[in-house]
Amino acid sequence: MATNKNRITALLLTALALACCGEKVDTDGTPADKKAVLLHSVWDMDTSSVSINSHAGDELSSVLQPIWSKFQDIPNAYMLPGLPATATDQAFSCYPRIKQMADGRFLMLYHSGQFGSRIWARTSSDFVKWTSAELLFEPVSVDIPEGDKTVQDWRRFVNPDAVVLKHNGSRNGQILMVCSYRATSHYGEGLDCGLSFRRSTNNGRSWNKAVNVPVGANWEPYLLELPDGTLHCYYTDATPQTRNSGTSLIVSTDGGQTWSEKIRVSRQYKYTYKTSVEEKKKYNGEKIYTDQMPCFRLLNDGKTIVGWLEARIENPAPPSDCGNSDTYKSHCEMSLVYNDGLSWKALGEESEGPERRLTNVMRKGNAGYISTFPSGEVFISSGLNNLFHIRLCDAGVTSFYGNNDWLDDANWYIPFQGKGYWGCTEPVGSNMLAVAMHKSPVEETKDPGCMQIGMYYLNQRQAPSEQKINIDGNASEWTTDKGWFISSQSGTELFVRCAFSEGKLCFALDRKEDSVSDASTVRILLAKDGSKNPLNVIAGPGGLVSSSINGATAQSRLAQTESGEKGYVSEISVPLASLGVETGDALRCLVILEEGNTRTMFSKADGGSTSTWQLIRL
């Protein structure tokens, strides 16, 4: 079977070359100097392992590049099939959580409506086509004790999260998911409230029966697995009667089969409760805290757990009457907290913590999420003005991209134009980041809303190795699969690799596009780090177009992927001596994808400022 596939691929490549070239041909029927070659896609690349913190020190020069083929708006009618007609207030999908499963496929969890009721799951192998929705939780009738009788209520489910279990490989393929549940009319009393867990042992194809852990009134659980297999479940620990919150933790050492008693691990003091409302006077004198909607990750040092939390801040604070919600307004701010160790100090009921934190560093932010990459980059996200925002941090989450203005959009990536809330990010492999956030329905314009999803590629500093490169437009001898990625919304994609070869800096360009023309060019600008005078080389499907670099060469060939997508491959060589650099120096590089008058380049890059370009360490 494999032999037949290779034979068919060879015939297709031959046909492509003959259709596009009119030169003299070899005896095998393909042009002597422009045989069609294999075109790599972004999915073929960055498959080799990554050293932990391999880019530490340079990580703030990395950028996220949209993979436009993975961005889409999924209609709510598709996301919520079979939703009862009576559920008019729940007719939109919300609170997405994306996970990459052990078999490489993707899991998306979400609930319906702003405050939830039902929880759904979908899976995908390519992040574009998704399986039919599976309803994991739906409202159930419960009896609530009231004195010597019981009353009927409805238990609702909200805020799903999951962790793909990895410890020692013994749980490979297992997924543990969690959500919050509460009785609708009794949540304010903390009755019938807790966390519900379900497990899949086959990469999301089926789910075991739910197991409930009654921790009291709560919101927004989040699961984290430590290297030894210990599981942390963080959640907003709420006291609805007083608007008190904070983050609590339960721990499992048996893969989520059983859980410890809760401990409070993160909270900041707001004010002391005071009211004249008669039925609430019993709370007078209680300290009220915040720190909620937790998301925690273990940093690459293996000993620091960092959290990105929302605080609900009242204005004025304290309110003149805490029991009367009409006397004050509130807004959300974001804090970073750090735990130096894998075990947490229990704060009890009267303490703040943890001690190491950046408290309310981002005004007006909400709904935080955090993702870490093995190479050292960390990304935090937040809602701001109902738009999803993502920001780059260093490996210790102590330095941040851009200036210190946390509300400056220039410091953030904004993946979606639709306004909503409660987005998420999730690392995919070593160099991609999945993102999702719903778009809220807009009654005035009859916009039903949707689920917005997409994926970014992580462009990073390159450190090329020595290889023997033949500049012939066939990059089959290249051994590195690390590089940069650029795509345009027209569908054109470019993957760029670099290597040393006999005193020259070489580039391999894999450019995928439907229609190759003379206007399908790639411009590469190079400058020694610190220099403001770059040199450039331009290549196209015919090879070298032009260059200001002495001795630069380029060859190109038409190409196609194994699945038949078309494009071309270029190889470029540039003498290091012509660039005025040598081994040990650093270069700044800007790659521009040109399509006639349209140009696409690295995110956050300013063509006139070489310091914003990508790094090459020679």
Question: Are 317 and 273 a contacting pair, CB within 8 Å?
Answer: no
Residue in the structure block whose two tokens are 């194994």: 562
34 has a pLDDT exceeding 90: no
Q: How confident is the model at residue 572 (pLDDT cuts 50, 70, 90)?
A: very high
Token pair for 15: 């046909």
Q: For residues 280 and 253, give the distance between their C-alpha atoms in angstroms, rounded to a whole number.
A: 40
Residue in the structure block whose two tokens are 């490489």: 104
**DSSP run (H or E) holding 198:** strand 194-200
Ordered by start, the domain boundaries in the chain are 36-50+461-617, 63-459
| pLDDT-wise least confident of 6-10, 338-342, 447-451, 521-525 | 6-10
Q: For residues 127 and 500, give the distance between their C-alpha atoms in angstroms, rounded to a whole number.
A: 35
86 has a pLDDT exceeding 50: yes
Please report the pLDDT score of residue 87 as a whole number: 67
Is pTM beyond 0.75? Reply is yes
- Chain segment 380-424, per-residue pLDDT in tens: 999 999 999 999 999 999 999 999 899 999 999 999 999 999 999
Token pair for 266: 């993160």
Residue partners of 131: CB distance under 8 A and separation at least 6: 122, 123, 124
Q: What is the SS3 assignment for 28?
A: coil
Q: For residues 100 and 102, give the distance between their C-alpha atoms in angstroms, rounded to a whole number.
A: 7
Residue 526: CB atoms within 10 Å? 26
Average pLDDT over residues 503-519: 96
Please report the pLDDT score of residue 168 as a whole number: 57
Max intra-chain CA distance, the chain: 97
The CATH code of domain 63-459 reads 2.120.10.10
Question: What Cα–Cα distance (Å) separates residue 519 from each residue in 2, 486, 515, 571, 581?
Answer: 37, 17, 10, 18, 31
Residue 475: CB atoms within 10 Å? 25
Q: For residues 227 and 600, give the distance between their C-alpha atoms in angstroms, rounded to a whole number.
A: 40
| pLDDT-wise least confident of 3-12, 269-278, 342-351, 369-378 | 3-12
Residue in the structure block whose two tokens are 């004790």: 145
Task: Please tell me which residue, 220 or 325, carries the higher pLDDT value.
Answer: 220
- Chain segment 100-157, per-residue pLDDT in tens: 999 999 999 999 998 889 999 999 999 999 999 999 999 999 999 988 899 999 999 9
Q: How confident is the model at residue 169 (pLDDT cuts 50, 70, 90)?
A: low
Question: What residue type is 412 in one-letter code?
Answer: W
**Within 13 Å, how many C-alpha atoms sit on residue 271's CB side?**
18
Q: For residues 333 and 321, give the distance between their C-alpha atoms in angstroms, rounded to a whole number.
A: 22
Question: Are 221 and 173 a contacting pair, CB within 8 Å?
Answer: no
9 has a pLDDT exceeding 70: no
Residue in the structure block whose two tokens are 């009457």: 321
Q: For residues 369 and 390, give the distance between their C-alpha atoms in angstroms, rounded to a whole number.
A: 9
Q: For residues 430 and 174, give the distance between their C-alpha atoms in angstroms, rounded to a whole number.
A: 21
In CATH terms, 36-50+461-617 corresponds, of 1.10.15.40, 2.60.40.1190, 3.55.50.30, 1.10.10.10, to: 2.60.40.1190
167 has a pLDDT exceeding 90: no
